[in-house]
Chains A and B, each alone.
Chain A
């Protein structure tokens, strides 16, 4: 780890986990460490840094550089301290005349094949080779560099065959072979930390070189996923961030939390002045443990993209161009319009949408705006369209609307069921941690209509892939339960002590019915009965069983039922309440968990307490001094329906692009067009803003203080590293707007908002900024019973008391294939792009994915005359769009797949308005479609683009 500028101590080798302690003496000092610790690490623990090049504490010791030699009394030779484990009573010397001479000799050899251009080198001041030359007292080099790897030409001007030019193919980092010392850290980081195996050492001896992929590959054409682990591990300038090459070294760092997915990785934002130089994954981040993906590590350029809007804008009608105005003017305009609507149509005619991208504090203020200022419960959030069934399902069965484990738990898992999630693309850092565990022997069962990378990739092979037909999750989960119950594989003791036995009896009788057997359902689900039975047996009997799931579970008409079915499986097999097990929703966005916790739903006040509950309302009423409506408000789809009907008139939408991300685009557009005041608060003029009257420019996560809550209920701090480019953090904007409406709020820092949250919400009672500062992060519930927070839930008993088994009847979706629409479309995402792409499309990540494509099976393509790379028309009952086809057998015949990262594609024109029975979460994952060859964009796409261009006009400044 290149960490000498902003030190974050490198102990050389990973920590040992043994409980047996060993005492030894190093340079005369006694030290006691766990068995299995390396001598290098033991020395580092007492502050003695043994010189090293090939060792770093994110990867296992390798012992190749021979710089970390030590002497051990009574043992022959000079062993490498990184690969030599401690033993009781050892007497180790890290520095004496012989070691000094040996180390200097080694360094001479290294330096003889290394350019001496330190002053102009991009790693100047941040190079371990440079540091080690200093540490060993290298003063001159006896070897003349005749054959080298770093000189492009020899003295007579002939090209040096050993010289390889710089590989700049990756947009974010460069590979300069001339600087390489072949320590193999990058290769090992790619294997051990990331698990992609994209790097290797090619050749041997003097010919050894780091190689991306095979012989003809470059960084970009190899399997490299640009996670940055190799760059992080490189001790020299060989693998270097291009931002460092361009800007120089940073001078300070601020620890903050990534604003992309629900993993919630901690990063060090390394700064020079107010310029962000690079984002480096933080070693002590408890979600990511020092790892990152291409989005968090590199794709932050959107925050300074030219498309960012920095001035508030207003307009009378959506047909007018935008007019840039001052903040006070925008506030006055917006408040007058909203007040006018309330006066004319009543307080229920307006509402808000909170964002899973914003902080807890900002979300809290937005829902407070509607509850305390508009005085209704018309608040909803983007979690509606992703994980609302998780909240419902887990709330019903276990008693809390959240996952049960922390991410560290995966290290003790033996069998993983992964259902409807694609972590290598959607949650890459968790995927790397899962892959590490799988390589150590854990088994994986994948339930997915598509052959995702985890089914079969380097060193990873799923034990079972249940390739089901989209929309049959419930049938598959129930068939797994059927197998477990009828074959007597359930954990009776767990069920008797922890769950309601009578409910279990009902449930067992239900699932044992032969109509739920894998044999009976295989025609429906497309999953072979034998395969499903084998998977069920493996899960029930394979040791610690954990279930991880994603939007492939929730975004269905029976999303909540599947979540309940998953909870049932965990209880059935006793896989709740300890490390290595549990039910783990992989949250889509950085703060989905938080936005749900903060009372963004129309029926719940913060902390998942129903608005009907008088005593809860009283707490809020007494603090806020207003009457809180006791009727649940409108959900997003209800708001849109009401808008079309003419009863819903005004919306404040923070950080969500409902026009692009919500299903049935035409309906969303009609709803928005019918409103009289749409306020969009966002970084960019997003698609929704095409229908807005007021635009409040937003601030990026780098520009504000706050907290995000990740998928493991971990509250992480977001820290301001630079001033908001448009003047105000988002919470300040919401406050200004509320005050313009007469609220009289006076928060001066988000910590005060958190204090209010803690005061009002029992599960957050112990959370405040001082504790977060001390502990780094806190997993809720954090209160008097759990002052340190709660890494694992339901340890001794379920939050609701007894675990509740609920019968999961499979009801086929109304969205059925037929002669007109014979294929099933399912949607997903890709590693390099994020959600609607508003951010990642504005970064170099487009190198990997610059348009959405439709994956189609060769059979389906052939009968339709569709060729690879050709435009096809994709039509459903709702609408049609066009995009390019990609022929692949990753999808089964009868199933097509696409992503929805690009607005041009308009995948949601296709999706229908069917939704989850309990929560209205839209059924994105199943749409009956037809595919046919096409010449280009459809009429709708052209009309849409014309409208968008028309709507995005901004008046020139006068």
Chain B
């Protein structure tokens, strides 16, 4: 559920005030907003633009460049599966198909109960332990179907 505009704007104002005077402030602000809301509400962008003397388009350009800034709230838990070459060669596609089946969702979707969001990611820097995954910011190596099951069991408990 998204928040009311007024509440968003007041929290964004606080975040902007906290970053006042910082050099190169746009990314830190976007991070802080994502931290605070769990996503970056579209309503926040014009306010950020105005405050930083940028155009709406520029802020949109920066935000959309980084896949980690989300436009909508994620589920309670976020599972990221590496889709890069090393992991693919170690069976990442098979593992991914299993995860999608198990959760009943496609990439970028959230399970109906709001528990898990599934996202692709390109390289977690864990190629030596491919296929790699990340659950709520924690790295997991050598994932296979069984490990996916146990990860999911751990978070939906």
Contact = CB atoms under 8 A, between A and B. Distances in A.
Q: Do A and B come from one complex?
A: yes
Interface of A: 196-204, 211-217, 222-223, 456, 458-461
Contacts of A456: 53
Contact of A211 (B54, B57, B71): B57
Contact of B54 (A197, A202, A216): A197
A200 B64 CA distance: 10
B57 A212 contact: yes
A197 to B, nearest CB: 4
B65 A204 contact: yes
B55 A458 contact: yes
B45 interface: yes
B58 interface: yes
B127 to A, nearest CB: 20
Given A197-B58, A201-B61, A214 B46 contact: yes
Contacts of B55: 196-198, 200, 213, 223, 458-459
Interface in B14-55: 42, 45-46, 49, 53-55
A214 B53 contact: no
B54 A214 contact: no
Contacts of B65: 201, 203-204
Contacts of B45: 214
A222 B59 CA distance: 13
Contacts, number: 61
B42 A223 contact: no
B6 to A, nearest CB: 17
A461 B57 contact: no
Interface of B: 42, 45-46, 49, 53-61, 64-65, 71
B56 A213 contact: yes
Given A214-B42, A215-B42, A200 B53 contact: no
Contacts of B42: 214-216
B57 A459 contact: no
Contact of A215 (B54, B58, B71): B71
Given A214-B42, A214-B46, A458-B58, A203 B64 contact: yes
A427 to B, nearest CB: 21
A214 B43 CA distance: 10
A458 B54 contact: yes
A249 B53 CA distance: 40
Given A215-B71, A216-B42, A202 B56 contact: no
Contacts of A197: 54-55, 57-58
B58 A202 contact: no
B60 A213 contact: yes
Contacts of A459: 53-55
A202 B53 contact: no
Nearest to B57: A200
B61 A211 contact: yes
18 contacts: A197-B55, A201-B61, A204-B64, A204-B65, A213-B55, A213-B56, A213-B57, A214-B59, A215-B64, A217-B57, A223-B55, A223-B56, A223-B57, A458-B49, A458-B54, A458-B58, A459-B53, A460-B53
A213 B53 CA distance: 15
A142 to B, nearest CB: 22
Contacts of A223: 55-57
Contacts of A203: 64-65
A201 B62 CA distance: 9
Nearest to B50: A456
A865 to B, nearest CB: 24
Nearest to A200: B61
Contacts of B46: 214
A199, A201, A214, most chain B CB atoms within 10 A = A214
Given A204-B65, A214-B46, A215-B42, A198 B57 contact: yes
B63 to A, nearest CB: 9
A461 B53 contact: yes
Contacts of B64: 202-204, 211, 215
Given A198-B55, A215-B42, A456-B53, 14 more contacts: A197-B54, A197-B57, A198-B57, A201-B65, A202-B64, A211-B60, A213-B57, A213-B60, A215-B60, A215-B64, A215-B71, A223-B55, A223-B57, A458-B53
B71 A202 contact: no
Contacts of A217: 56-57
Contacts of A201: 61, 65
A201 B57 CA distance: 8
A202 B49 contact: no
Contacts of A196: 55
A100 to B, nearest CB: 31
B71 A200 contact: no
A222 B57 contact: yes
Nearest to B66: A204
A909 B56 CA distance: 39
A222 B55 CA distance: 10
A189 to B, nearest CB: 13
Contacts of A222: 56-57
B83 to A, nearest CB: 13
A830 B45 CA distance: 26
Contacts of A212: 57
Contacts of B54: 197, 458-459
Nearest to A223: B55
B60 A200 contact: yes
Nearest to A208: B65
A458 B53 CA distance: 5
B69 to A, nearest CB: 12
Nearest to A212: B57
Contacts of A198: 55, 57
Contacts of B71: 215
Nearest to B122: A205
B12 to A, nearest CB: 15
A208 to B, nearest CB: 9
A478 B42 CA distance: 47
A202 to B, nearest CB: 4
A453 to B, nearest CB: 12
Contact of B60 (A204, A214, A460, A461): A214
A461 B49 CA distance: 13
A460 B64 CA distance: 24
A199 B57 contact: yes
A216 to B, nearest CB: 7
B51 to A, nearest CB: 11
Contacts of B56: 213-214, 217, 222-223
B33 to A, nearest CB: 15
Nearest to A199: B57
B141 to A, nearest CB: 26
B72 to A, nearest CB: 12
A201 B63 CA distance: 11
Nearest to B46: A214
Contacts of B58: 197, 200, 458
Nearest to B71: A215
A199 B45 CA distance: 15
Contacts of A214: 42, 45-46, 56-57, 59-60
A195 to B, nearest CB: 10
Contacts of A213: 55-57, 60
Contacts of B57: 197-200, 211-214, 217, 222-223
B61 to A, nearest CB: 3
A320 to B, nearest CB: 56
A695 to B, nearest CB: 47
B41 to A, nearest CB: 11
B65 to A, nearest CB: 5
Contacts of B60: 200, 202, 211, 213-215
Nearest to A196: B55
A487 B59 CA distance: 43
Nearest to A203: B64
Nearest to A458: B55
A459 B46 CA distance: 14
A217 B56 CA distance: 10
Nearest to B64: A202
A15 to B, nearest CB: 28
A691 B60 CA distance: 54
